[in-house]
Amino acid sequence: MDGLRCLNRGVVVWLTGLPGSGKTTIARRLVEALRERYGIRAEILDGDWVRKTINPEAGFTRDQRRLHLLRVAWIARILARNGIVVVCSFVSPYRDVRREVRDIVSGEVPFLEVYVRCSLEECIRRDPKGLYAKALRGEISNFTGVSDPYEEPENPEIVVDTEKLDADSCVSSILEYLSSRGYLEDR
């Protein structure tokens, strides 16, 4: 037994932003903090991992992305209703699809949209996987920010700017929000 506890009701924290904005780093550190500081069961559903394991046939057209994200929303909802904090890290570039995701999740558990803001220029500069370089050369189609749009969230619960804040500060902002809303129960 790992000593971690489930909450009475979990929550889904959905990180959205351009590729390379820092979503995965923040997600990993957030889950680590929830486990270590709060003793809470928390799981990450990350875009790369889900595409490799649960949904390997997922493509990158608008319809394929929509179907992919709706599947993830149902998985996140099931985990959260069982008392787990689920941190989802997905580009999720379209507002209407994020609304559908929110509707699925919030039908049963709280949903928190976190916009991981970072300029396209900075994401291109970071380019941790070399994908922007390939997209700019035309080697990758439907690449968000280059050949496919990213629609910024209009009313996210939280905005963390990774050009101005380090990952730990972003995590602290998210934890403060979760705590202020009563989502993090005391031990």
Q: What is the DSSP letter of 154?
A: S
Q: Among the options 92, 106, 147, 173, which is catalytic?
A: 92
Which residue, chain included where needed, has tokens 């202020």?
180
Contact in structure between 72 and 90 (CB atoms under 8 Å):
yes
Q: How many CB atoms lie within 10 A of CB 144?
A: 23
92 assigned to active site: yes
Per DSSP, the three-state class of 96 is helix
CA distance 159 to 22: 13
CA distance 39 to 157: 24
Q: How many CB atoms lie within 10 A of CB 176?
A: 12
Q: Tell me, what amino acid is at 129?
A: K
What Rg value do the Cα atoms of the chain yield, rounded? 16
CA distance 66 to 35: 30
Per DSSP, the three-state class of 77 is helix
Q: Which residues are catalytic?
A: 92
